[in-house]
Amino acid sequence: MENKYKEISPSRSEIISKHLGEFIYNKNIIEFGASSGSTLYDLKYKYNCEVSAYDVLPVNLSFCESNFFDLDFDDLDSIRNSIDNCDLVLFLDVLEHIKSPKDVLESILRINDKVKVFMISPNFSSIRMLLSWLSGFVPDHSSGFFDKTHLKWLSPKWLKINLSDAEYESEIFYVFSDVFFFRIIQKFYPSRLCSQFGAVIKVKK
C-alpha cells in the first residue's frame, strides 16, 4: 500500500524503531498530536501496529482505530480506557506545546504503569539557540525554536529534574543531523549541540 504521508515525516518511525527495537512490532499505539498521521501510518503498515490518533485539532485519518480531537490534556481520565489498553504513547514535538508536560506524563504513567512513553522535543539548551540570539536573529514566532505556541522550553536537564523521582526511569537520546559533518561534531557534546532530543519513559519496576 502506497504511503501518501511519506513526504511529510519519513524518519520518525525509523527513530522510534531504532530506540525501541523489537518492542515496536504488533503494539497498540496512541499518538498525541498526530498531525498528518505520517508516523502512525508507517507504524501501522511497517510494524503491524494498531494505531490511534488524539489531537486538539480535527484530524481525519481513516487508517486509525480511533480518531479523537478537541483533546483536553487536563482531563486525560476521559480517555482512560484507551490509555489503559495501549503499549506505547507518542509525543513527537508535542510536549513543548503543553502548559504542564510533567503533569501529563505522570497522568499517563499513573493510568497505565506498563506503558512506555516515547517523546521527541526541540532541545532548548542547544547552543544553536544561543547562536541565534547572538547573531542578531529576530524570530518571527511562526516556526522553529521560537514558535509562539511553545509553552515550555524543554531540555534533557528538564527531563532529568522533573522525572528524577525513583518511581520513573527515562532513557534519553539525541537526534543527530543527517549531514555527516554535523553528525560527527554533535557526538562530542550532544546535550548542547543537538537541536532535538528524545526519551523513552516508563514506570520503574
Give residue-wise pLDDT tens across range 124-138: 888 877 776 666 655
The Cα–Cα gap between 119 and 88 comes to: 11
CA distances from 5 to 31, 37, 38, 66, 119 (A): 15, 7, 5, 18, 20
From 20-34, 76-90, 113-127, 163-177, the region with the lowest mean pLDDT: 163-177
pLDDT mean over 90-116:
91
Mean pLDDT in residue range 9-27: 85
Encode pLDDT of 33-65 as tens digits.
Answer: 887 788 898 999 999 999 988 887 766 677 777
Report d(CA 58, CA 17) in Å as an integer. 27
pLDDT number for residue 3: 42
**The pLDDT of residue 86:** 94
Give the residue-averaged pLDDT of 19-39.
90
pLDDT in tens, 150-163: 767 788 888 888 87
